[in-house]
Structure formats: C-alpha cells, structure tokens
Amino acid sequence: MTHPGVQFGKVAVLMGGQSAEREVSLMSGAGVLAALQSRGVDAHPFDPAEKGMDELRRQGFARCFIALHGRYGEDGTVQGALELMGIPYTGSGVLASSMAIDKAMTKRVWTAEGLPTPRHVLLHRGQCTREYVRTIPDELGLPLIVKPAREGSSLGVSKVMGYSQMQDAVDAAAAMDADILCEQFIAGDEVTCAVVGSGDNARALPLIHIVAPEGQYDYQNKYFTDVTEYRVPCDLPPGEEEAIQALVLKAYRLLGCRGWGRIDVMIDAATRAPYLLEANTSPGMTSHSLVPMAAKATGISYEDLCLQLLAAAALDYPAKPSAETNA
C-alpha cells in the first residue's frame, strides 16, 4: 500500500522568517514538521531568514507548508515568490494574503459589502498632531483599541481607557507599523472561527469562546501561559454559533481566502450583535493554537489537519503546458 506521504513529494515547512512573530512561527513550524514526518511525508524545515527562497527550487521541493506568521510570510510576499517558482503552497494566495494582513483594508472590504466591523480611525505615523490624537476618543468613545494595522498575535495592541493614554498607545503601535488603527471597543464575548477549504467548499469549524484573565488576550496569554480558558463546544445562546459561522464564511469568501484561515469576532454584550475584527490567513499551529483546537472538536487530529492542509496546497496561477512543451 502506498504511504499517504508519498504523493506530496519533497515538502518544505516554511518557518521562522523575519517578522515580529518569528518565535511563534518557529513553534508552529516545529509542530507541523513533526506531524507531517510522523505520517511519512518527506518534510524538511526551511527558514527564509536563513536561506534565499530560490533554494526551494534548487533543492527540489514540490510544495510548501507555510507556517510563517506576520510580515514576509502572511502578507503575500512569500506567496508571490512561490507563484513565480511554480511551487504550490498552503493557505491563501497573493491578493487575499496582502489584504487580510492589513486590518484597515480588510475593514474596507467588509464594510463595502455591509458586513459588521467596529468603527475605526486610521492614522499614519508622523502625520497627526498630539492634539488630534487626543480627540479620537470623541469619535470612537472610551475605552478604545489602538493597534498596528499590519501585525498579528496582539503585538503592539493597547486598550485605551482615557484621553491621557492615547499618545502612548499610538506611539507603541507606530513603533511597529507606519499605519495605526484606532478601533471602537466592543464589550462582550470574544470568539474565533476557523475555516478550512476554498470557495463554496469552505466550511466553518466550531466556534471557540476565548475567556482571558481580565479580558487580556495578549501575546503572552496567547502563547506562553495556561490561564486563558478556551470553551469549545462554545457556550453561546442557541442559534448564535450558526449565525456567526455563516457571517465568518461570507467574510472569508469576500477576501478571497483559500485553504484555511481564522476570523476573530466580538459579540456585543448588550445587543448580542457580532462584529468582525480581523482575518488570519496563516494561523498559529502551536500547542496553544486555536485552529487545531477547533479541528479536534470535530474529531480531526493535529496530524490529519496538517495533511489535509498540505493536500490543499495550490497556486493562484497554475502553470499551463506551453505549445512548445506539447510540440
């Protein structure tokens, strides 16, 4: 019997990279690598921060599992390089990746199609006065959230409780990105919804209700502590989970995502209305990560999830046989 790993050829697990999420990416990549190897896949680690991308073709890799997070991995740049080399890869393509990592652009797409997302003000580093920054709570209310437009894992995110905290929050976000997103704070339940598949075949996995200490679901509590509670099956009122899954699927398809992803949602405590926060096109695959947790709730093991994602590796523009090749 042919081992399931044989069909994939030589596989590179892209991990590490140059982003602020390098440490998390190395953990994700190590998990994926071990899972694929345990199922007989000829998988190897590949860190784009240490080797040029052209080495992938030179070393004969047939496809890539992208376990990179953040910039230079989740933003369309690596995807574009793989498109040029004709090496299929996991997750979303160039356009969807570059849109989804930009929280402001994602909001524009969702808002244009009538999907609910918190109100926001976009600032550009060095282009607004301290006086203007202090007026933003007048528009968005307090508390509010300030974050870099293109970072993940809650890096550079601040919850602003008063006018006097605005400038420090903007400065912290500006240290990580030239664009700073100031966002209306939605008080209520935080949930996340993983999606696997593409187009009409995409399906939402069970919601996870995230209950963090004092609501602080930050970088530390995401990856390095066990104090955050993850409720799956979630404990939402009847009908809410199905409605949010349908909303998330629509949001995922609007961005043109494929392969897999995860979308975070806040539910207003007073109205129970859901608000889309952001999309992740290369979610974490660490021991604390949410997509494997949601998959497990449906009976899909970590190893099977990795194989399923690898099997769906694709290109935006698959190479077509040329006339010369067929001559």
Catalytic residue list contains 21: yes
Share of the chain above pLDDT 70, in %: 91
pTM: 0.92
pLDDT in tens, 117-131: 999 999 999 888 999
Within 10 Å of residue 61's Cβ, how many Cβ atoms?
Answer: 21
DSSP string, 190-253: EEEEEEES-GGG-EEPPPEEEE-GGG---HHHHHS-S-SEEESS--PPTTHHHHHHHHHHHHHH
Rounded CA-CA distance 63/143 in Å is: 45
Contact 125, 178 (CB under 8 A): yes
Host H or E run for residue 24: helix 22-38
Catalytic residue list contains 151: no
Largest CA distance in the chain: 72
From the candidates 264, 275, 282, 302, give the one annotated as an active-site residue: 264
What SS3 state is found at 69? coil
Query: What is each CA distance from 163 to 3, 132, 133, 144, 172, in whole angstroms?
Result: 61, 11, 9, 10, 15
Residue 35 has pLDDT above 70, yes or no: yes
Mean pLDDT, all residues of the chain: 92
From the candidates 16, 17, 21, 197, give the one annotated as an active-site residue: 21
From the candidates 28, 91, 102, 223, give the one annotated as an active-site residue: 223
pLDDT attached to residue 321: 60
Catalytic residue list contains 75: no
Host H or E run for residue 305: helix 302-311
From the candidates 5, 73, 91, 284, give the one annotated as an active-site residue: 284
pLDDT attached to residue 183: 97
Catalytic residue list contains 5: no
Give alpha helix (H) positions in 51-190: 54-58, 77-85, 94-101, 103-112, 130-140, 166-174
Q: Confidence band (pLDDT; 50, 70, 90) for 181?
A: very high
From the candidates 63, 71, 258, 262, give the one annotated as an active-site residue: 262
Residue 148 CA, distance from chain mean position:
15
pLDDT in tens, 211-264: 987 655 445 554 455 778 999 999 999 899 999 999 999 999 999 999 999 999
Rounded CA-CA distance 226/221 in Å is: 7
From the candidates 102, 151, 241, 278, give the one annotated as an active-site residue: 278
Residue 269 CA, distance from chain mean position:
25
Residue 169 has pLDDT above 60, yes or no: yes
Within 10 Å of residue 47's Cβ, how many Cβ atoms?
Answer: 18
Catalytic residue list contains 256: no
34-43, 245-254, 286-295: segment of lowest average pLDDT: 286-295
pLDDT in tens, 19-34: 988 999 999 999 999 9
Catalytic residue list contains 278: yes
Within 10 Å of residue 192's Cβ, how many Cβ atoms?
Answer: 26
pLDDT in tens, 132-143: 999 999 999 999
Rounded CA-CA distance 185/285 in Å is: 28
Q: Tell me the two tokens of residue 40.
A: 């007989």
